[in-house]
Amino acid sequence: MNLFSALIPPDDVLDEVATALGAPEDGDFRWSRREHWHVTLGFYGEDEPGERGEWLAGRLAAAAAIDVRLEKAATFPGVLWLSVTGTGLHELAVKAGAEDEGRPYTAHLTLARFPRDRPRAASAWEERLAGFTSRTWTATEAVLIRSDREQGASSYRVIRSYELKRARA
What pLDDT sits at residue 26?
65
Overall pTM > 0.75: yes
Q: What is the mean pLDDT of residues 147-161?
A: 88
Mean pLDDT within 65-75: 97
CA 130, 134, 155: angle at the middle one, nearest 5? Answer: 95
Q: How confident is the model at residue 166 (pLDDT cuts 50, 70, 90)?
A: confident
Residue 152, pLDDT score: 73
Share of the chain above pLDDT 70, in %: 98
Tens digits of residue pLDDT in 12-59: 999 999 999 987 776 789 999 999 999 999 999 999 999 999 999 999
Does position 111 have pLDDT exceeding 70, yes or no? yes
Distances (CA, A) of 73 to 85, 126, 133, 152: 12, 5, 10, 27
Residue 169 predicted with pLDDT over 60:
no
Cross-strand bridge partners of residue 110:
81
pLDDT at residue 168, as a whole number: 53
- Alpha-helical runs (H) found in 96-152: 123-128
How much is the pLDDT for 89?
A: 97
